[in-house]
Structure 1
Amino acid sequence: MRRADRLFDVIQVLRTARRPVTAATLAAELEVTVRTIYRDVATLQARRVPIEGAPGLGYVLRKGFDLPPLMFSIDEVEAIAVGARMVKRLRDPELQRAAGRVLDKLTVVLPETLRTHMIDAPIFVSPGDAVAPRGIDPAHLRAAIRDRRKIRLTYVDEKGRRTRRTIWPLAMAYYVDVSLVGAWCELRRDLRNFRLERIAAARVLAARFEDDEGRLLEAWQALRHDHAAPRP
């Protein structure tokens, strides 16, 4: 968790608490050390957030403090609501939880007139038809893309044939009926798309790959935009 996010979460916990919250309680909830909470509280106090209390006694947020409201138009609020609901299509539990946290944070800092619209917006999104992957955790896949780590996987094609491959994951592509990872395949020595539900097993490797100046990603994007996406 980024420190800025954690500082926000400290304020949120104290805002909703009915009694002083100890550093140990905050540390357990945010999954950090007590010493980290002490530093975070000191930082917030230095930024004039009215937190009162002391180590061992607990902390309270003085009544009347509020974060500055975010200024969104109704259309912008609806765009956020639609986007968060569409994340449910992705069959990626960690992204779904992250979308929920985003909505929680926004509803707290939005003005009252927009807050209700965010929560109760009459907007519905179909669940989509993509099959949930079982052989790979999408969160691990996204992390491998960020860290440029190779993945060893067992892949089952449309005819049921299994192959073991090492891929260089470049990007994710989410569609209503399928989720893909675009990658360089060491076996085929070419760009390929892999449907997540056809990955029978996968392991993120310690080995990293290089994509000089993003050329492989650009090549994959060019194929996708030209409607000639690389084959699985």
Structure 2
Amino acid sequence: MRKASRLFEIIQILKLSRRVVTASEIAEKLEVTVRSIYRDIAALQAMRVPIEGERGLGYILRPGFDLPPLMFEHEEAEAILLGLALLDRTGDADLKHAALRVRGKIASAVPDPLRHDLFSAPLYAWGQPAPAPEGADMAMLRRAIRDEQVLDMRYRSEDGQETERGVRPIALIYYSGWMTLVGWCELRAAIRNFRTDRIMTLTSTERRFRGDGDRLRRLWVDSWDKPPA
């Protein structure tokens, strides 16, 4: 077990205990030496975690202490950071900026040993970033999905045909090279996929489909296993 994960586990053990816990008991649970626990307790106390006690007697966590809202095991935090790196390959500029803010929150919330390990980890997302679509505001699309708001769209198909239609947006798919909007097309009266780089214009409307987004998403998901007509 890495030191950062072990520090987290020690806090959890002390937090859940209603009595003094000895270093030997903690060492047995974490399968490390008692000397390692002594060093870890000293490190936590240096980080101002309110652990009281001493060698030979045991330790207790002073009531009222809470872990930071963002506390992850090493692999969990690596998964999040790699996901944020993959997000940076998309053409969604607002989500890219959000990813940077999330990295900052993780960096400020986790203990120093874990912070060092995470941000020096050799995990990279590679490949050509997807270009931002010229005619589609990705933030508008995500907001319309959340608010169940109909959008008016002018769209150019793969063969160059241009159409205007109302769309009830229900999902976004992020591929490595482009993004796709999934929505109920009012022109075709069916669920359709629209590549965002083929959207020419996108306009919000006052029309809503409140309460129907989940049903449309279920309809879409149920269609995955059906053979094409």
- Please list, as runs of the form range in 1=range in 2, the aligned pairs for 1:64-103 lying within 5 A after superposition: 68-69=67-68, 70-103=70-103
Deviation digits for residues 61-96 of structure 1, max 9, x if unmatched?
xxxxx9845542221121011011011122111111
Q: Does 1:158 align with 2:158?
A: yes
CA distance in 1, matches of 2:167, 2:182: 9
Task: Determine the structure 1 residue equivalent to 2:189.
Answer: 189
For the structure 1 residues 229 and 215, does the alpha-carbon distance in structure 2 shift closer, same or farther, using more than 3 Å as the test? farther
Structure 1 residue 212 displacement after superposition = 3.6
For the structure 1 residues 139 and 228, does the alpha-carbon distance in structure 2 shift closer, same or farther, using more than 3 Å as the test? farther
For the structure 1 residues 99 and 213, does the alpha-carbon distance in structure 2 shift closer, same or farther, using more than 3 Å as the test? closer
Asked if the contact 1:170–1:184 (Cα under 8 Å) also holds between the matched residues in 2, the reply is: yes
Number of residue pairs matched by the alignment = 164
- Please list, as runs of the form range in 1=range in 2, the aligned pairs for 1:1-232 lying within 5 A after superposition: 68-69=67-68, 70-128=70-128, 130-212=130-212, 214-223=214-223, 225-226=224-225
TM-score by length of 1: 0.65
Counterpart of 2:177, as a letter, is: D
Structure 1 residue 228 displacement after superposition = 6.3
For the structure 1 residues 126 and 67, does the alpha-carbon distance in structure 2 shift closer, same or farther, using more than 3 Å as the test? farther
CA distance in 1, matches of 2:76, 2:228: 32
CA distance in 1, matches of 2:164, 2:204: 14
Counterpart of 1:204, as a letter, is: S
Structure 1 residue 227 displacement after superposition = 7.6
Select the structure with the greater relative contact order (CA < 8 A; seq sep ≥ 6). 2
Counterpart of 1:137, as a letter, is: D
Counterpart of 2:118, as a letter, is: M
Q: Secondary structure at the match of 1:72?
A: coil
Structure 1 residue 201 displacement after superposition = 0.7
For the structure 1 residues 106 and 135, does the alpha-carbon distance in structure 2 shift closer, same or farther, using more than 3 Å as the test? same
TM-score by length of 2: 0.65
CA distance in 1, matches of 2:167, 2:225: 23
**Structure 2 gaps, min length 5:** 1-64
Structure 1 residue 118 displacement after superposition = 2.4
Asked if the contact 2:88–2:129 (Cα under 8 Å) also holds between the matched residues in 1, the reply is: no
CA distance in 2, matches of 1:220, 1:180: 14
Asked if the contact 1:220–1:229 (Cα under 8 Å) also holds between the matched residues in 2, the reply is: no
For the structure 1 residues 211 and 187, does the alpha-carbon distance in structure 2 shift closer, same or farther, using more than 3 Å as the test? farther
* CA root-mean-square deviation: 2.4
Structure 1 residue 119 displacement after superposition = 2.1
Deviation digits for residues 103-144 of structure 1, max 9, x if unmatched?
101111101111112222211102446342110110110000
Percentage identity across paired residues of the two chains: 37
CA distance in 2, matches of 1:208, 1:102: 31
